[in-house]
Amino acid sequence: MYWNKPVETMEREALEKLQLERLQHTVRRVYQCVPFYRERMQAAGVEPGDIQSLSDIRKLPTTEKTDLRDNYPFGLFAAPQEEIVRIHASSGTTGKPIVAGYTAHDVSVWSEVVARCLGCAHISRDDTVQVSYGYGLFTGGLGLHYGVERMGAKAVPTSAGNTQRQLMLMEDLGSTAIACTPSYALMIGEALRDENFDLTRLKLKTGIFGAEPWTEKMRDEIQKLLNIKALDIYGLTETIGPGVAMECMEAQNGLHVWEDHFIIEIIDPDTGDEVPDGEMGELVITTISKEGMPTIRYRTHDLTAIIPEPCACGRTHRRIQRLRGRTDDMLIIRGVNVFPSQVEAAIVGIPGIAPRYLLVVDRVNNMDVLEVQVELAPELLSDEVRKLEELQRQVARAIEQVIGLGVNLRLMNPGSIERSEGKSRRVVDKRVL
Ligand code: DLL
């Protein structure tokens, strides 16, 4: 189901022509309006007129989160303040957040791309979408909300939190879809399971989950607990918010990037060189239709790969693989790279274990130690020491096999790892380097 079929199925050649026009326009705009970009481009010896083809994008300097921090709050805005109608913010690298500004046109583009994402999830005007992402400076709530309204479906702006109330409204209002973080979806699913809730009382059929990394195993778990189809949505404040890319129902494999608004590159995070299609690297995004705060070659620190093959759904916009983690949440423990999502993949599905975990990294006698805390599932709580010891060994082995590193495993009582209604905290790094 397409929201905007002509654009979503556009011939590649026409799409690339449009991309180039919009790229040239955006580069001229930031060169004229944003001293930061002009200075960076001058330092790199490049002018707007040098962008003659899409591959010329590589002549442009990249941008980092620290550039947003250094130009806090409005330094990267490319539209006059009186044209800005919305501000959002997200956590920065220090105490101050990073800020994004939107013109009315930007809000409209954003609603359009989110409406396309909803179409990917087969949501239509007949649907009631419970928006359980946080409303506020975070882009999740309002981003989804505007997309739902643009489509003409019904938005229920519950925001995150108060799970019992979410469930009551879900049943009473007949929500057919929910949009929230995958970890909150799990929390809701667990609440349903714990109450032996009869799922036939709900009309829920689809979930639109993103804002944090998750895994296929977690998808299976959520789909089972809520009896829905769970789809992945991606985006970041710096480039617009949710709606940069979305999985389609047909393939449930990779996220279509709306390439008429965003140009993507995948680079080697160490060298900055482009990597071939299909290879994992860091996603770099250039916004080509934003006015308020365009971002040029923004280094997301998100790891993914381009899926070059056409998709069964007929959309021509290329897909990226499910986001694998961030280059900067990667832990280096005794020289080994460890991703929290690897631990998750190892533990989800082990009988007796809940999909809740926390990595605690410390340095003892100059040696990195990794403690993994994992929650026992409520139904399998056994006080038989022998059984628990066996389970502990089994879980530790499963993790060690995936990450290639010995771990101290702590089985935790059900419910004892901090719950989150937004993004979960998966790592506590106590090392002082
Ligand atoms: O999380 C925007 C968003 C809201 C996306 C709702 C999807 C749904 P930020 O707070 O700026 O924006 O965080 C952006 O979150 O660089 C990724 O590291 C991570 N992220 C977002 N979506 C996904 C996803 C929103 N589907 C950062 N899978 C990004 C993995 C994701 N990571």
Encode pLDDT of 201-213 as tens digits: 999 999 999 988 7
The confidence score (pLDDT) of residue 17 equals 98
User: How far apart (Å, rounded) are the C-alpha atoms in residues 308 and 302?
Assistant: 18
Q: What average pLDDT does the segment 225-252 reach?
A: 97
Q: How many helices (H) and strands (E) does the chain have?
A: 11, 20
User: When comparing pLDDT for 96 and 107, which is higher?
Assistant: 107
From 234, 280, 293, 320, the mutation candidate for ligand 1 (largest count of ligand atoms within 8 A of CB) is 234
Q: State the closest ligand 1 atom to the C-alpha of 245, by its place in the atom list counted from 1.
A: 26
- 186 and 227 belong to one structural domain: yes
- 197 and 84 belong to one structural domain: yes
Domain that holds residue 318: 1-326
| Count of domains for the chain | 2
The answer, yes or no, to whether residue 92 has pLDDT greater than 60, is no
Sequence-distant (6+) residues with CB within 8 A of 10 are 18, 260, 316
- 277 and 355 belong to one structural domain: no
- 293 and 339 belong to one structural domain: no
The four Cα atoms 236, 237, 239, 240 give a dihedral, to 10 degrees, of 100
Q: How far is the CA of 234 from the centre of ligand 1 (A)?
A: 5
pLDDT band at 404 (very low <50, low <70, confident <90, very high): confident
What pTM, to 2 d.p., does this model score? 0.84
Q: How far is the CA of 281 from the centre of ligand 1 (A)?
A: 17
Contact 327, 269 (CB under 8 A): yes
Q: How far is the CA of 122 from the centre of ligand 1 (A)?
A: 21
Q: What average pLDDT does the segment 212-217 reach?
A: 85
- 256 and 353 belong to one structural domain: no
pLDDT band at 405 (very low <50, low <70, confident <90, very high): confident
The answer, yes or no, to whether residue 373 has pLDDT greater than 60, is yes
User: How far apart (Å, rounded) are the C-alpha atoms in residues 427 and 332?
Assistant: 12
Q: What average pLDDT does the segment 285-309 reach?
A: 97
- 212 and 345 belong to one structural domain: no
pLDDT over 70 for what percent of the chain? 96
Which DSSP helix (H) or strand (E) runs through 394? helix 385-403
Q: Which of 326, 359, 389 marks a domain boundary?
A: 326
The answer, yes or no, to whether residue 41 has pLDDT greater than 70, is yes
- Bond from prior residue into 351 cis (ω within 30 degrees of 0): no
Three-state SS at 326: strand
The answer, yes or no, to whether residue 95 has pLDDT greater than 80, is no
From 212, 240, 258, the mutation candidate for ligand 1 (largest count of ligand atoms within 8 A of CB) is 212
- 58 and 143 belong to one structural domain: yes
User: How far apart (Å, rounded) are the C-alpha atoms in residues 36 and 52?
Assistant: 22
- 277 and 409 belong to one structural domain: no
- Average pLDDT score, the chain: 93
- 416 and 350 belong to one structural domain: yes
413: number of Cβ within 10 Å: 10
Least confident piece of the model among 53-57, 293-297, 301-305, 429-433: 429-433
For residue 371, give the CATH number of its domain: 3.30.300.30
Give which of 310, 228, 303 is closest to 8, Cα–Cα.
310
Q: Which residues line ligand 1 (CB under 6 A)?
A: 90, 133, 139-140, 210-213, 232-237, 241-242, 300, 302, 323, 326
Q: How far is the CA of 195 from the centre of ligand 1 (A)?
A: 31
pLDDT band at 94 (very low <50, low <70, confident <90, very high): very low
